[in-house]
A = this chain, B = another copy of it.
Amino acid sequence: MARGNTRQRIQDVALELFAEHGYEKTSLREIAEKLEVTKAALYYHFKTKEDIVISIFEDLTQPIDELITWAEEQPRTLETKQEILRRYQAALTGAAPLFRFMQENQATVRDLSIGETFKKRMMTMARLIEDPDLGMTDRVRCISALFTMHAGMFFMQNVEGDPEEKREAVLEVAIDLVTQAHHGPRK
């Protein structure tokens, strides 16, 4: 019947359910049923339930890693930061369900082995956008830029309007925030 794509299908269905109902509330029975395989089949492909989440995380988190690697080699200029935000939005858009899951299950994720990794990644992003020389207000602006993008991903879905237009608006606001942070107080 199924060809060698079962592993992939498990990841897809699992992510979908994890994102929808949360990690704890999603049972392996549900995943198996939706795939029309037995629970044991899941265990053939993954050692534990946590392993499923880890594998999804690793597969989809790569773009962020690459972004970080790239960013760390660039000069720490305003232009770089703007480009970081552009690329970050692209990464976020590409792995939207995973990010939704991470965002909406933070309490759970924290207790999973990926929790630490994920947090570190967030802190690194903050470090790349922030600047220790800035005053507190401007540092908040930078972090706010990041969270604007996160908010943009999910909460914004509840706002009417063309998705593409919304995405551009989000990016504009975020870029604006870091720009202001760099030019000293707006005005």
Interface set of A (CB-CB < 8 Å, partner B): 18-25, 101, 103-108, 110-111, 122-123, 126, 135-137, 139-141, 143-144, 146-148, 150-152, 155-156, 158-159, 161, 165-166, 168-170, 172-173, 176-177, 180, 186-187
Contact = CB atoms under 8 A, between A and B. Distances in A.
21 contacts: A18-B107, A22-B107, A22-B108, A24-B25, A103-B106, A126-B158, A136-B166, A136-B168, A137-B169, A137-B172, A137-B173, A139-B159, A140-B169, A140-B170, A140-B172, A143-B151, A143-B155, A143-B159, A148-B148, A180-B186, A187-B187
B173 A111 contact: no
A114 to B, nearest CB: 15
Given A24-B24, A135-B169, 20 more contacts: A19-B107, A22-B111, A101-B107, A103-B106, A104-B106, A104-B110, A105-B106, A123-B158, A126-B155, A126-B158, A136-B165, A136-B168, A136-B169, A139-B159, A140-B169, A140-B170, A143-B155, A144-B144, A144-B147, A147-B151
Contacts of A24: 22, 24-25, 108
A115 B126 CA distance: 30
Contacts of A18: 107
B169 A152 contact: no
Contacts of A135: 169
A8 to B, nearest CB: 22
A187 B23 CA distance: 45
Contacts of A144: 144, 147-148, 151, 173, 177
Contacts of A107: 18-23, 25, 101, 104-105
Nearest to A186: B186
